Chain A
Amino acid sequence: MGNVFFLILRRMRAPLILLILIYAISILGLTLIPGVDAEGRPAPPLSIFHAFYFISYTATTIGFGEIPQAFSNGQRLWVIACIYMSVVGWSYSILTLLALVQDSGFQQTLSTARFIWRVRRMGEPFLLICGCGETGSTVIRALDRQGRRFVVLESSRLRVEELDLEDFKTDTPALNADARHPENLLLAGLRHPRCQGVLALTNSDEANLAIAITVRLLNPSIPVLARAEQQVTADNLASFGTNHIINPFERFADYLALAVHSPACYQLVERLTGTPGQELPSPLPIPPRGHWIICGYGRFGRAVAQRFAAEGLDYSIIDPKDAHEPKRLQIVDTGTELAPLEAAGLTRAAGIVVGTENDVNNLSIAMTARARNPGLFVVMRQNQMANSVLFETFRAQINMVPSRIVAMECLALLNTPLLDDFLMEARRAGETWAQTLNDRLEQLFGRLIPETWNIRINAQEARAVYLELMHGGRVLLEDLGRRPDQRREPARLLPLLLRRQEEVILLPGPDTPILPGDWLLFTGSAQARRDQRLLLFSEKVLAYLLTGDEHSGGWLWRRLARTS
């Protein structure tokens, strides 16, 4: 607020000096001009005290009716001048003040001051989100639904104003500033003791790189998640230890390759990373083996082609620029017309990947191709969220939206850091193992996508269990999966992974003992998740689940029960 105060003082200098001068001249005049008494005889002029009193109520246009005594004509003449002078002086001051309030520089100073104050007051752990475009807004809305706190830095003024209009549950400080500048990151709480991590989600690789470097240098203890669309940026980010680098194209190409390579693993991934509560499409679209056409050989096309080559799939390329791939058939064209598509082998193709940077072209290519070959498996890239209606109507088998992939990946990393480990292990465990697990999940939840969550056995995240263990109690994994209303009934959940220091146990058994410091990954229904929270935090519920005894509540009763 200091800045704002100084700015006002500085701008108000001229009007204030003018006012002081006008008052001084008016008062001086009144103390020099002779007055007149009740009988019309000349009287001495007003004293300074009376003159100041008179000018005070006249100049402020209060027009208080009390005059010490009737004025002489000379005094009246001077008072006329005083009134006009003071009106001009006050108007000038007020206009200067109003202009200052409307001044954009002043507004910016004011909103920055308010932002700094709000960030400083943050009492709960929060995340610093840089860039609030399509990706950023998706992440923000999801985090808000979970009740997590965050601070936003965004370079577009329009987006910040839109954020103000959104109805967030939590208080969200947002500043219109360039996140590439270290001062702005510091203002946004980079060194705040409750800052838990930084998400660099701007649509410029260069900005994300700058943010990641700043965080590494100024606060190395907190994790950074950065979005990178170029491989060069990703390598650069990795070189100085950025915790998570999300490249939407590579990530999607990996999924596509997984779907071709091992459909059961792919189904497992879809089930565990999808939006909880939604139905898994039945049957899940699995890209067929056969001849593929890759339309658009940019970052996306290259990433997919690389995976296809590794899988031994045959593909041809359509791109206006020469791809320098001597082993593959390339048609130099945009591919929006039938002729180049047919030249690339449309009639015998099993699938097409449409991945140019232009949404209209993508739709045009896909529609042309599907009209000629209705059985074609279409994988499409959607660049703008705004075009969702068109893409939903077209119904490609797989629709790839870079910003959504980055957002989902971010949320998964923030909410369930163990899931990444689990999926990696699952891929290693192979197709038959994944199929068994799939069948088990299908049995438990049907086609519905379950919730997936992490728990950690410590004093903050599982107080009751932690205390029980500290007091020498024994808790088995199956105890964490009991229903608080019916302890003999198992809840609808499945433990997926247990991490104990460096050791990782896939699908731990029900009789695994729980130790303090364990990390666990569960999947289950929303009800089961709520029930589990209850037993993690309530000692009474936990005691009932472990022993079957109902405990009486308070500290005093527990003391009495122990002594008797």
Chain B
Amino acid sequence: MNLEKVVFGFFIVLAATLNFGFFVGDIDNPEHHHVFELFAAIVVNLIATVLKFGDRTQIGAIHLATSLVADLQLLAAGVTWAVAVHVTGEGMTPVVTSSVVSLAGGALLANLVSVTLLVVETAMMRR
């Protein structure tokens, strides 16, 4: 067993699960989507991205790309939240909530691709 592989897999799966946790629920109901979950998802996604740095293989490149997509989507969701709550002061109305959650949904898709790649990569290893 390789500790590096454990850490790598752990963060990728954790990024996907946290993302899913934030995403699940009614899309326009702020009660179902706590901002701390979004925060945790962003942090874990960033760590997962950095872990993928410096791998020059084809699959490594796709890994990094999916992670960058997820980061972008989650950061956009975070900024939307910050603007709605702190800048314009309109708060988590159903419109804002649904746009934050749908952005996070996009990130979830990218994270699912990442997890799939991880599974495929593992399945390809015949050891």
Contacts and interface: CB of A to CB of B under 8 A. Distances in A.
Chains A and B form a bound pair:
yes
Contacts of A49: 81-82, 85-86
A17 B7 CA distance: 12
Given A13-B54, A31-B36, A47 B47 contact: no
Interface of B: 35-36, 39, 43, 46-47, 50-51, 53-54, 56, 81-82, 85-86
Contacts of B51: 13, 17
A148 interface: no
B54 A20 contact: no
Contact of B53 (A13, A24, A50): A13
Given A9-B53, A13-B54, A47-B85, A21 B47 contact: yes
Given A6-B56, A10-B54, A48-B35, A17 B47 contact: yes
A186 B47 CA distance: 39
A23 B82 CA distance: 17
A116 interface: no
A32 to B, nearest CB: 10
Contact of A48 (B39, B46, B56): B39
Interface string A238-253: 0000000000000000
B85 A20 contact: no
Given A13-B51, A13-B53, A20 B86 contact: no
Interface string A16-57: 110011011001100100000000000000011110000000
B50 A16 contact: yes
Contacts of A20: 43, 46-47, 50
A12 B43 contact: no
Given A28-B39, A31-B36, A48-B36, A17 B50 contact: yes
A7 interface: yes
6 contacts: A9-B53, A12-B53, A13-B50, A21-B47, A24-B39, A31-B39
Contact of A7 (B54, B81, B82, B86): B54
Contacts of A27: 39
The residue in A7, A10, A49 that gathers the most chain B C-beta atoms within 10 A of its C-beta is: A49
B54 A9 contact: yes
A72 B46 CA distance: 31
B120 to A, nearest CB: 23
A9 B82 CA distance: 30
Q: How large is the interface on A (under 10, 10 to 19, 20 to 34, 35 or more residues)?
A: 20 to 34
A483 B63 CA distance: 73
Contacts of B36: 31, 48
Contacts of A12: 53
A5 to B, nearest CB: 9
A22 to B, nearest CB: 11
A193 B92 CA distance: 64
B79 to A, nearest CB: 10
Nearest to A28: B39
Contacts of A23: 43
B85 to A, nearest CB: 7
Contacts of B82: 48-49
A244 to B, nearest CB: 42
A93 to B, nearest CB: 12
Contacts of B47: 17, 20-21
Nearest to B50: A16
A24 B85 CA distance: 20
Contacts of B53: 9-10, 12-13, 16
B50 A47 contact: no
Contacts of B39: 24, 27-28, 31, 48
B43 A50 contact: no
A112 B35 CA distance: 48
Interface in A439-468: none
A47 B86 CA distance: 9
Nearest to B54: A10
A507 to B, nearest CB: 64
Contacts of A11: 54
A31 B37 CA distance: 13
A48 B56 CA distance: 36
A27 B42 CA distance: 12
A27 B39 CA distance: 9
Contact of B54 (A6, A28, A47, A48): A6
Contacts of B46: 20
B54 A50 contact: no
Contacts of A24: 39, 43
8 tightest A-B CB contacts, nearest first:
A10-B54, A9-B53, A24-B43, A49-B82, A9-B54, A16-B50, A20-B46, A49-B86
Nearest to A12: B53
Contacts of B35: 47-48
Contacts of A48: 35-36, 39, 82
Given A7-B54, A47-B35, A47-B86, 20 more contacts: A6-B54, A6-B56, A9-B53, A9-B54, A10-B54, A13-B53, A13-B54, A17-B47, A17-B51, A20-B46, A20-B50, A21-B43, A24-B39, A28-B39, A31-B36, A31-B39, A48-B35, A49-B81, A49-B85, A50-B86
Nearest to A11: B54
A361 to B, nearest CB: 56
Nearest to A8: B54
A64 B49 CA distance: 30
A554 to B, nearest CB: 58
A542 B9 CA distance: 79
Contacts of B54: 6-7, 9-11, 13
Contacts of A31: 36, 39
A6 B64 CA distance: 12
